[in-house]
Every structure is written in structure tokens, then in C-alpha cells.
Chain A
Amino acid sequence: EAQVTQNPRYLITVTGKKLTVTCSQNMNHEYMSWYRQDPGLGLRQIYYSMNVEVTDKGDVPEGYKVSRKEKRNFPLILESPSPNQTSLYFCASSLTGFLTGELFFGEGSRLTVL
């Protein structure tokens, strides 16, 4: 089954404790991206990757890191989480960065930072 898999789906952590949210896709997509969704603000792009070893900042990259060492994986790293990073996070992928096709989303990861 074609899918984007995120883990963990739910996480409660404390300020300053490094965490990684993994994202994996099995569709051989070149393009992957991370978004956060907050009430009233919609989806905001954190980072995106056009292909392996190519990443770029979205609109809200502060406090986050990413890496794209393999085509299928695009982990989101919070080196020192803060309460303002409490949010619902979505990973998404598409066949190409020109998005002429569909953007597939993972099921989301709800993160709470205390």
C-alpha cells in the first residue's frame, strides 16, 4: 500500500529534550516536506526536500532540522524543543518538486512540549 508513515503519532515531552519525528514513504517520491498545523494559522511549511541531499527552508524553519540521506526518509529533528513547538506535524511527499501530481500526507504527529 502506497503511504507516508510518521512516528510517533503522539508525543508528550519536556522543554529541551531532543526528539526526532521520523517520516518514511514507499512511493519512490523525490519530493518530501514537513508542515505544522496550528489553529487559525493553517499549514505552514517547515522544510522541504526536492531530492536526496537537497533541502531548503520553508516559512517556519526556526528550531527545526532535517536531513535527507535516503530518498524514502525525511526525519524532522527538534534539538531543543520549546512549548511554542507544540503542534500537529505532517510529513508529505510528491513524485516531483513541481507538484504536478498529488501531495501525499502522513497521518500526522501530535507533539506537546511541556
Chain B
Amino acid sequence: QKEVEQNSGPLSVPEGAIASLNCTYSDRGSQSFFWYRQYSGKSPELIMFIYSNGDKEDGRFTAQLNKASQYVSLLIRDSQPSDSATYLCAELSGTSYGKLTFGQGTILTVHP
């Protein structure tokens, strides 16, 4: 069983809409979670990390963590065509320090 699950999409939203990306994880001991964005042909780059239950906002991005339900989500408000990319969710193991597990990624397309 994969430890981090994402819907691979593609998820298509119109420009200006809210894009909602979801991720579930199986390791209850995991403490830290990360969202990376990867443009086609490029390396992943960090958008946000979160380790407390609740919401964390940074500009147009909001990460949400619910440890009881074991899910993490990323909301992108006022989506722009430049947000079109693959979004990768990752968890840092709570027991094997340094072991970072990624989901398979969700492809997001924002159309004008």
C-alpha cells in the first residue's frame, strides 16, 4: 500500500477559480507535510510545508492538515494559467528521520 496517495488527475479549473488538491497518508506518526510544484521538464520546488492541524496560508495558497483523518490538502485561490503544473504531496516519516515519501502527483491545468 502506497503511503501517500494523490488523485493523479488531471484536474482542470477555469482561471480565477479555486483549485483543490488532496492527499491522504497512512503513517499516523508522520509529523510534517510538504507541497511541491513541478513544471513540465523542471525540478520540484517547495510551495508550503505544514505540521500543525488546521490551515496555513501563504498568499494565494492555503495548506490544510487533518491528522485525525490523515489528509492534507492544498487550495489555490484565483488560479492562474501559470499555476498549471504537477503538484506533489510529501510526508516526512515520524520514525525514520530523513525519509521523505512523495505521492504520485496531481496534474493541474488552469484554462483561460
- What residues make up the interface of A, taking CB atoms closer than 8 Å to B? 31, 33, 35, 40-45, 48-50, 56, 58-59, 90, 97-100, 102-103, 105-108
How many positions in chain B have a CB within 8 Å of any CB in the partner chain?
Answer: 24
The answer to whether B88 touches A42, judged by C-beta atoms less than 8 angstroms apart, is: yes
The answer to whether A56 touches B99, judged by C-beta atoms less than 8 angstroms apart, is: yes
Q: Which of B96, B99, B100, B102 has the most CB of A within 10 A?
A: B100
The answer to whether A105 touches B44, judged by C-beta atoms less than 8 angstroms apart, is: yes
The answer to whether B99 touches A45, judged by C-beta atoms less than 8 angstroms apart, is: yes
Picked from B49, B96, B104, the residue with its CB within 8 Å of the CB of A41 is: B104
| Complex: A45 Cα to B96 Cα, angstroms | 13
| Complex: A102 Cα to B49 Cα, angstroms | 9
Picked from B46, B98, B104, the residue with its CB within 8 Å of the CB of A33 is: B98
CB distance from B112 to the nearest CB of A (A): 27
| Complex: A31 Cα to B103 Cα, angstroms | 21
Report how many A-B pairs have Cβ atoms within 8 Å: 62
| Complex: A103 Cα to B44 Cα, angstroms | 9
The answer to whether A99 touches B92, judged by C-beta atoms less than 8 angstroms apart, is: yes
The answer to whether A40 touches B98, judged by C-beta atoms less than 8 angstroms apart, is: no
- Across the interface, name the chain B residue whose C-beta is closest to A44: B102
CB distance from B66 to the nearest CB of A (A): 21
The answer to whether B97 touches A98, judged by C-beta atoms less than 8 angstroms apart, is: yes
Picked from B34, B43, B99, B104, the residue with its CB within 8 Å of the CB of A90 is: B43
The answer to whether A99 touches B104, judged by C-beta atoms less than 8 angstroms apart, is: no
The answer to whether B97 touches A50, judged by C-beta atoms less than 8 angstroms apart, is: yes
The answer to whether A108 touches B99, judged by C-beta atoms less than 8 angstroms apart, is: no
Given A48-B98, A97-B98, A99-B34, A107 and B88 touching (CB < 8 A)? no
CB distance from B35 to the nearest CB of A (A): 12
- Across the interface, name the chain A residue whose C-beta is closest to B4: A42
| Complex: A106 Cα to B45 Cα, angstroms | 10
The answer to whether B99 touches A42, judged by C-beta atoms less than 8 angstroms apart, is: no
Residues of B within 8 A of A31 (CB): 98
